[in-house]
Structure 1
Amino acid sequence: MKISEIQCHCGAIKIKLSGGPIAQFYCHCDDCQAVHAAAYVPVALYPAQAIEVIKGVPTETVLRTTPRMRCPTCGTFLFSELTNFGLRSLSASLLPRDEFKPQFHVQCQYAVLPVKDELPHFKAFPAKFGGSDEMVDW
């Protein structure tokens, strides 16, 4: 099992990642847009137990419904708690560049800056994540 460590931008929070992500993608949902002040965000989805805070104590922030953990010192968003699914969505911008390999885009129905690339663009989510596999055509 691969084990790696990542940290927030200031180093106050350190996280241990055990194993690889379930999926990696770009999220265009309006919640991510509001929280991150961005058109879309890179996400690495892991089983909850695979993301362990080993240094520092993150602060929980909830804008609408999703609890998100961030560094109380520098404000870096670390991961979201998807407790109903036993998952955590890591801010993939914390991964080394060569480790983020996006597979698709989700929640494209909310896109404010459509990205035209070779990846699949799901209107909501892929069927394997509870969606319908409906795509958007940009």
Structure 2
Amino acid sequence: MSDLHSGTCFCGAVEVQVTGAPEAMGYCHCASCRSWSAGPVNAFTLWKPENVKVPRGAEHIGHFRKTDMSDRQFCTQCGGHLMTNHPPLGLIDVYAATIPSIDFKPGVHVNYAETVLPMKDGLPKLKDFPSEFGGSGEAIPE
């Protein structure tokens, strides 16, 4: 896997680059991620902030903060979703679809208790979040 990946919003006005390897990859099933992504599940890649850059179009990035946990970012030109900064975790979720060249290898499902799309893939299914991120860390069956 190359250690530099680039992607853009829907219209191409904003470019996002990530370098190195993500800290984690997986799926989130919470109602907020489902609503924000307009899908039954959201594929995430988590990165340290120093590994995420916006080389073009930063002036077109809008923000929406439903909670202090998540600063969701989108293109103000096309509405395309880009990433979510999670300040309490010290990580940025660059949506897997935003960086199409990444070799997406999910390792976990989070907030699986809220799923509307059961997925039988053998990956760990956490009721909410890992304990190190303030969740219960409780695994639930597929």
TM-score normalized by the length of structure 1: 0.89
**Alignment counterpart, residue 94 of structure 1, candidates 98, 106, 109:** 98
1:120 and 2:121 are equivalent in the alignment: no
Determine what percentage of the aligned residue pairs are the same residue.
34
* Counterparts in 2 of 1:97 and 1:52: CA distance versus 1, 3 Å: closer
One-letter amino acid of the structure 2 residue matched with residue 22 of structure 1: E
Which secondary structure does the structure 1 equivalent of 2:120 belong to? coil
* Greater shift in the superposed pair: 49-58 or 121-130: 121-130
Q: CA deviation at 1:30?
A: 1.4
- Tell me how large the CA RMSD over aligned residues is: 1.8
* Gapped regions of structure 2 (runs ≥ 5): none
Q: Is the 8 A contact 2:25 2:107 kept in 1?
A: yes
Q: CA deviation at 1:96?
A: 2.3
- Encode CA deviations 1:83-114: one digit per residue, 9 max, x unaligned: 11221011111222661111110011111222
Which secondary structure does the structure 2 equivalent of 1:84 belong to? coil
Paired residue for 2:42? 41
* Gapped regions of structure 1 (runs ≥ 5): none
* Greater shift in the superposed pair: 94-103 or 26-35: 94-103
Q: CA deviation at 1:42?
A: 0.3
- Encode CA deviations 1:21-44: one digit per residue, 9 max, x unaligned: 000000011110121222210000
1:4 and 2:5 are equivalent in the alignment: yes
Q: How does 1:1-138 map to 2 (within 5 A)?
A: 2-56=3-57, 57=59, 58-62=61-65, 64-65=66-67, 66-96=70-100, 99-138=103-142
User: Which ranges of 4 or more aligned residues in structure 1 deviate by more than 6 Å?
Assistant: none
TM-score normalized by the length of structure 2: 0.86
